[in-house]
Amino acid sequence: MPRQSMNFNIEIMSILDANGKLDDKLMPDISEHHIKSMYEAMVLARILDDRLLKLQREGRSGTYASSLGQEATQVGSAFALRDEDWMFPYFREAGAHIVRKFPLANYMLYWMGDERGMKIPENINNFTICIPVSTQILHAVGAAFAMKHKKKPNAVLVYLGDGATSKGDFHEGMNFAGVFNLPVVFMCQNNQYAISVPVERQTASRTLAQKAIAYGFPGIKVDGNDIFAVFAAAQEALQRARSGKGPTFIECFTYRMGDHTTSDDASRYRTAQELEEWKRKDPIERLRKYMESKGLWNADYESVIRQDFEERIEQAVKEAESKPQQAIEDMFSYTYAAMPQNLKEQLKEAKGD
């Protein structure tokens, strides 16, 4: 039988177009101060991203996953979180970490291969970076279940890529969240490729957002390069979660302008023309045009914040690289509450005792 196309009437939500023009009817209530803070977080995320790419090429950092072009999905959604809410990242959330005030030096230390970088400060409700695709979804749903059990009026925001929707963890997490009506928001950064596999080779669904329908809760699709649309969708979904109305799935339609990681070459599976088309939708340029039209941006302002950010990042690099070397015992000490005999023997051998 021929494949049938089902229309669930899921449209893409957009507020700020590529030219910086605003749909006033949909614009959420955001102060000028917060608009500038959003812009600054995106610019800082891009400068951080570029610095980590260069560090990797210099052999001073490990494999790195760029967030180039996806800053609005991360910053816009993280701005909708409260401090008491929890954030569960995967491995491409530089902007969200910045909004959540995660120390830059820790973030760099982690990508330099030092797990101490993921020691989360006690006043920040973030989970650690998750490299295995989709496993963070189950952790987030478990945390949301605990919140509901303890009657906490907070919410969980979990990030995932389009590739994660092809994994079993995604469907198990979505099903559990729907059945138990949990306070969790699934924030999917649909950047068009799971490494080299395009979305149309991952699913026959017209949208990723419609997958939520099968699990009994709303699915929303937004322009992921429109920071106001992302913020508005995340704010509404998080409030829905906090008020006991259950989960929401948000598909942010965006684009990964860089390689999947520093070990990838995206030119092997996508065209230069496609990349150029998406560059014209750059989320930072879009917001900058809007701010300029409102008198919130000028070249002097840009110069000042960029100099400040570059200095902060260089300081973070120095701090990360000056971290004392880890003790060899650290490889053995944190797996079990009491170290078993076989690990004791391995530790003794590793130390040359």
* Strands of the 156-161 sheet, one edge to the other: 12-13, 219-223, 248-253, 184-190, 156-161, 86-88
Token pair, residue 246, equals: 């259950």
Quick check: is 57 catalytic? no
Active-site residue (options: 57, 269, 280, 334): 269
All structural domains of the chain, each given as residue ranges with its CATH number in brackets, are 12-322 (3.40.50.970), 327-353 (no CATH)
Coil, helix or strand at residue 253: strand
179, containing H or E segment? helix 168-179
Number of residues written out for the chain: 353
- Known catalytic residue at 256: yes
Catalytic site residue from 260, 286, 288, 290: 260
**Residue-wise pLDDT tens for the chain (353 aa)?**
444 555 567 889 999 999 999 998 999 999 999 999 999 999 999 999 999 999 999 999 999 999 999 999 999 999 999 999 999 999 999 999 999 999 999 999 999 999 999 999 999 999 999 999 999 999 999 999 999 999 999 999 999 999 999 999 999 999 999 999 999 999 999 999 999 999 999 999 999 999 999 999 999 999 999 999 999 999 999 999 999 999 999 999 999 999 999 999 999 999 999 999 999 999 999 999 999 999 999 999 999 999 999 999 999 999 999 999 888 998 898 889 999 999 999 999 999 87
Q: Give the β-pairing of 184-190 and 248-253.
A: parallel
In the chain, which ranges are E strands?
12-13, 86-88, 156-161, 184-190, 193-194, 197-198, 219-223, 248-253
The pLDDT value recorded for residue 7 is: 58
pLDDT of residue 150: 97
Say which of 46, 97, 139, 256 is annotated catalytic: 256
Q: Look at residue 1 in the predicted model and tell me its pLDDT.
A: 42
CA distance 92 to 113: 16
Specify the pLDDT at position 287.
Answer: 98
Active site residue 260: yes
- For position 350, what pLDDT does the model report? 93
Q: What pTM did the predictor assign?
A: 0.94
